[in-house]
Chain A
Amino acid sequence: MELRAEDVDALVLGAALLGSGGGGTTIEVGTLLRRKLGAGSVVLHSPSDLAGAFVVPVGVIGATTVLTEKLPNGQEFAAAVHALCQWADIEPEALMASEAGGVNGLTALVAALELQVPFIDADLMGRAFPRLDQLTWAVDSDHLFPIALAGTSGQIVIIDRAPARTIEGLARAALRELGGWAAAAFPPRPAADLASSAILGSISRAIALGSALKELPEAASPRAVESATGARVLGAGRVFDVSRHRVADGTFGHGHISLRDRDADSIIRIECQNEYLLASVNGRLEAQAPDILCLLERRKLVPIEVDQVRAGDELIALHLSGPSWWWASPARRKRVDPTAFGIPTLLSEERE
């Protein structure tokens, strides 16, 4: 599969859907990607196409709100990848996305165009999560080093030989000095490993979802959205309760958003942090991370991020299945389910 400039709109929508309300706004980076593509294209390789190659996952970390104000020029990714490969003493033979949801569904493609290396259609989350220790590589083997961060002014930070949680902490500390966000390059691995350690096909999933949504007419019915995207509609209605709380360290806020579906006579409540993490309908648990939850603006059918929801908005609540990789074992699930975000939940066997 090839990605051309005309596919970028679909990717912008689809990556936002996989963001589950988080991961940053995709529109600005979409513009950058369209410009880099020009009349050309990027091939979305499957790992088997490049079985012997070393693949470097790339992405942006930090405050994505700052990213939209201080846009990348594309060279930050090249700087991060070069620094990492120099440190690890290898050649970058291919790139992939560290995260498919949100802005990072697009940044790795920008980087691949910048570096002129092949791109593999896979990522390490299958959606968006806020922390580095929630990348698949940090979960199964706890081997996420070395990583390289490149700041907007050319600074380079290398973090090596640390457990994933420590890397997360060190990276956050570095971000404060790097200007809010940084391009990150993660440890190179043989493409052959990806089949078991990464989420495959996530960029093409985003494009497929996005183009399905794009095809729908304005103000399409929730049922039409359901059948076009393969998602499940939890309800549609007006937001009547938005509650956000700051946690002690001031970083991640958590809260909930509730809408009332007058037609179904139901109340849809979504617990959220940086992403939508758990949905209940009339108090009954309906979906939770690592499954994906989205709120679409009801008329234009565009995904709305967590911090953009306001009381009075008319929205559609969607449930998309999350990557099966995360559901494969309790250990994996526990790293990314709502409890990992401090939101108590019920075990699936308690679901009624």
Chain B
Amino acid sequence: MTTGVNLSAILHHPRLEDVVVLGGEVSQQKVAGCVAARDIAATVTEVAQKVLVVLYSEDRDDWRLDNLLHRAHQHGAVAVLIEGHAPLNPSTTALAELLRTPILGASDPFAAQRGIEGLIHEPRAHTADLVLAVVTAAQQAGPTLEDAVHRIGQAIARPLFLVDTQDVLVRWNEDISTTALHSAVATHASDDRRARWVLHDDGQVFITCPVRSGTISAWLVAVLPERLDAEIEALSAALTTAVAPIGQRLATARLALERDALYRTTLLGEIIEGRISEVTRRRALDLGWRLDGWHTGIYIGLDDELDITASRPHVVSAFDDAGMKATVVERGQGWAVWLTAEHELSAKDVQLQATAIRRAHRALGRAVSVYVGVGRLHFGPEGVGHSLGEAADAASLARQRPASGRFLHVDRLGLAQLLLAWTRTDTFQPAAMSLLEPLTAELIETLTTYLDSESSVNETAAILGVHRNTVASRITRIQRALDVDLSVADDRLALHLACRAISTTPT
């Protein structure tokens, strides 16, 4: 015993495009099948929960159409389907509304009947048809992702999207928002290979199917205007079929992207290290990089694990939107960016440029968590490396400073802060840790305060709120434990740096 399928869902199906509502309201009526009648005078039997399909019916003004509607309604029919799309007269329309039995029109009632029956009784056949259509579409599609998604979308006759965690990679239309697509895939773990579906509040059904290709996680998403189980089943199978051809194109595209990224990174490496040969210059020129002129280096660091190669276009467009033509290269867990001017910038221009960079920073910061450092102006091919070096230093300081908006311009930094920044490198910090390891937390605090107070025992005692003898005895214990002499300037400097480094280490 079937519980039936929503009439409106059936009518939304692309295979039943020919069927239109001529009168009455189509809503959630459940349909269990069709019964054919030769003409409007035919006897009506066993139409309960079914669509009565009238194969020949031309005259809309024949009152027997009303009578047929009455009889169909009496026997529990869901709707009456007649031939043609010509409008009904107002009386018949009003009657269809009154009896809550809609009248549908189809130029080919036979085909409409087959379509409705197929969706209800032969979902397997429907699935097979759709899978075959997807396979054919994928075979005929060109090498690009866009072409493949669009052709497969045409084959399933539903909006189809390719979505990753960040973005909509291929869009079918603008009707479905990026947020809706992302919330649909958010519930779908990428290691779950099966197609799944979610019903949205507005009745739309999102069918998602993961596309895994190496490290990439993406999803194919098809959208139905309304729930129709037969179509959900068929589309799930069709999307699963589409994963292979889409994944293959995704991998190819990704390979090209990574090849380019590697090439850029290597070339930038050569420039930063100052190994700027003729070949390097020519390659840089081929990529549209400018090595001559005055450069401002910018380093954009990422807090989160993010695919920096895939996200590079966002950085480029953030700078574009802020009115700057920037060169962007993947570097470390972030991007090295530089701006080039033909002439040395005035102080005011530097100010303006900094404002523009902040704007780009803000735009990027809306999507992901980033910190930004900006170097000074440097001239010539070597200048690129110099400015980027300063930018990287400034960036590592910026990372620790939410107060500065995680944005630092090297111009604003004192020399001491820069020196200090160097102590926060990955090699220095473990060294500082091991140097101070023999000390208790209390002793480290005493040592730090003592060194900060210019080796004054009295000052240290005052700050810590202990007796000066206590401070003196602690200092003696520290010198013994570390086997150092705090009167030696080198030892004092090393310990002071170590104390500062661990005191700022995020725990």
Residues of B near A352 (CB, < 8 A) are 71, 74
> Does A48 sit within 8 A of B, measured CB to CB?
no
> Does A17 sit within 8 A of B, measured CB to CB?
no
Smallest CB separation, B75 vs chain A (Å): 10
Name the segment of B56-64, B364-372, B422-430 touching the other chain.
B56-64
- The interface bits of chain A over 274-308 (1 if a CB of B lies within 8 angstroms of the residue's CB, else 0) are 00001010111100000000000000000000000
- The interface bits of chain B over 455-487 (1 if a CB of A lies within 8 angstroms of the residue's CB, else 0) are 000000000000000000000000000000000
B64 contacts A346, C-beta separation under 8 Å: yes
Residues of B near A189 (CB, < 8 A) are none
B70 contacts A282, C-beta separation under 8 Å: yes
Q: Given known contacts A241-B89, A352-B74, is B66 in contact with A280 (CB within 8 Å)?
A: yes
> Does A95 sit within 8 A of B, measured CB to CB?
no
> Does A116 sit within 8 A of B, measured CB to CB?
no
> Does A243 sit within 8 A of B, measured CB to CB?
yes
Smallest CB separation, A241 vs chain B (Å): 4
A260 contacts B66, C-beta separation under 8 Å: no
Q: Given known contacts A269-B63, A346-B41, is B70 in contact with A258 (CB within 8 Å)?
A: no
- The interface bits of chain A over 240-276 (1 if a CB of B lies within 8 angstroms of the residue's CB, else 0) are 1101010000000001101010000111010100000
> Does A38 sit within 8 A of B, measured CB to CB?
no
A183 to B203, CA, bound (A): 72
Interface size bracket, B side = 20 to 34
Interface size bracket, A side = 20 to 34
Smallest CB separation, B80 vs chain A (Å): 11
Name the segment of B91-99, B160-168, B299-307, B320-328 touching the other chain.
B91-99
B94 contacts A267, C-beta separation under 8 Å: yes
> Does A344 sit within 8 A of B, measured CB to CB?
yes
Which of B41, B62, B74, B91 neighbours the largest number of chain A CB atoms within 10 Å of its CB? B91
> Does B69 sit within 8 A of A, measured CB to CB?
yes
Smallest CB separation, B339 vs chain A (Å): 73
A271 contacts B90, C-beta separation under 8 Å: no
B98 contacts A271, C-beta separation under 8 Å: no
Q: Given known contacts A241-B89, A243-B89, A282-B99, is B94 in contact with A258 (CB within 8 Å)?
A: yes
B64 contacts A240, C-beta separation under 8 Å: no
A167 to B64, CA, bound (A): 33
Smallest CB separation, A40 vs chain B (Å): 47
> Does B351 sit within 8 A of A, measured CB to CB?
no
B94 contacts A346, C-beta separation under 8 Å: no
> Does B67 sit within 8 A of A, measured CB to CB?
yes
Q: Tally the A-B contacts, defined by beta carbons under 8 Å.
A: 63
A346 contacts B67, C-beta separation under 8 Å: yes
Residues of B near A343 (CB, < 8 A) are 63
CB < 8 Å neighbour of A240 from B68, B90, B99: B90
Q: Given known contacts A344-B41, A352-B74, is B94 in contact with A280 (CB within 8 Å)?
A: no
Within 8 A of B (CB), among A74-118: none
**Smallest CB gap from B98: residue in A:** A267
Residues of A near B68 (CB, < 8 A) are 283
A284 to B95, CA, bound (A): 11
CB < 8 Å neighbour of B70 from A245, A283, A344: A283
Q: Given known contacts A256-B61, A282-B99, A344-B62, is B91 in contact with A241 (CB within 8 Å)?
A: yes
Within 8 A of A (CB), among B153-193: none
A122 to B241, CA, bound (A): 84
A164 to B10, CA, bound (A): 57
CB < 8 Å neighbour of B95 from A282, A344, A346: A282
CB < 8 Å neighbour of A271 from B63, B69, B74: B63
Within 8 A of A (CB), among B70-96: 70-71, 73-74, 89-91, 94-95
Residues of A near B99 (CB, < 8 A) are 282-283
**Smallest CB gap from B44: residue in A:** A352
B91 contacts A284, C-beta separation under 8 Å: no
A164 to B95, CA, bound (A): 41
A258 to B89, CA, bound (A): 10
Within 8 A of B (CB), among A302-352: 343-346, 352
A345 to B64, CA, bound (A): 7
B67 contacts A283, C-beta separation under 8 Å: yes
Smallest CB separation, A318 vs chain B (Å): 18
B94 contacts A278, C-beta separation under 8 Å: no
CB < 8 Å neighbour of B63 from A245, A266, A278: A278
Q: Given known contacts A283-B70, A283-B99, A352-B71, is B63 in contact with A256 (CB within 8 Å)?
A: yes
Within 8 A of A (CB), among B372-416: none
Residues of A near B66 (CB, < 8 A) are 269, 280, 282-283
B90 contacts A258, C-beta separation under 8 Å: yes
A283 contacts B90, C-beta separation under 8 Å: no
A282 contacts B98, C-beta separation under 8 Å: yes
Smallest CB separation, B444 vs chain A (Å): 89
Residues of A near B62 (CB, < 8 A) are 344
Smallest CB separation, A153 vs chain B (Å): 41
CB < 8 Å neighbour of A256 from B41, B70, B91: B91
B70 contacts A284, C-beta separation under 8 Å: yes
Smallest CB separation, B57 vs chain A (Å): 12
**Smallest CB gap from B93: residue in A:** A241
Q: Given known contacts A278-B63, A280-B66, A346-B67, is B98 in contact with A265 (CB within 8 Å)?
A: yes
Residues of B near A280 (CB, < 8 A) are 63, 66-67, 70
**Smallest CB gap from B59: residue in A:** A344
Smallest CB separation, B350 vs chain A (Å): 78
Residues of A near B64 (CB, < 8 A) are 344-346
A283 contacts B95, C-beta separation under 8 Å: yes
A278 to B62, CA, bound (A): 12
Smallest CB separation, B94 vs chain A (Å): 6
A243 to B98, CA, bound (A): 20
A241 contacts B94, C-beta separation under 8 Å: yes
B95 contacts A267, C-beta separation under 8 Å: yes
A192 to B419, CA, bound (A): 138
Smallest CB separation, A122 vs chain B (Å): 33
Residues of B near A285 (CB, < 8 A) are 67
B69 contacts A283, C-beta separation under 8 Å: yes
Residues of A near B95 (CB, < 8 A) are 267, 269, 282-283
Which of A260, A283, A285 neighbours the largest number of chain B CB atoms within 10 Å of its CB? A283
Smallest CB separation, A249 vs chain B (Å): 18
A267 to B74, CA, bound (A): 16
Q: Given known contacts A282-B99, A346-B41, is B94 in contact with A240 (CB within 8 Å)?
A: yes
Residues of A near B70 (CB, < 8 A) are 280, 282-284
A267 contacts B91, C-beta separation under 8 Å: yes
Residues of B near A265 (CB, < 8 A) are 98
Cβ contacts A to B, 21 pairs, < 8 Å: A241-B89, A241-B91, A243-B61, A258-B90, A260-B94, A269-B66, A269-B95, A278-B63, A280-B70, A282-B95, A282-B98, A283-B66, A283-B68, A283-B95, A284-B67, A285-B67, A343-B63, A345-B64, A346-B41, A346-B64, A352-B74
* Interface of A toward B, CB cutoff 8 Å: 240-241, 243, 245, 255-256, 258, 260, 265-267, 269, 271, 278, 280, 282-285, 343-346, 352
Known: A280-B70, A352-B71. 13 other contacts (CB 8 A): A240-B94, A241-B90, A241-B94, A243-B89, A245-B61, A260-B94, A269-B63, A269-B66, A280-B66, A282-B66, A282-B98, A285-B67, A343-B63
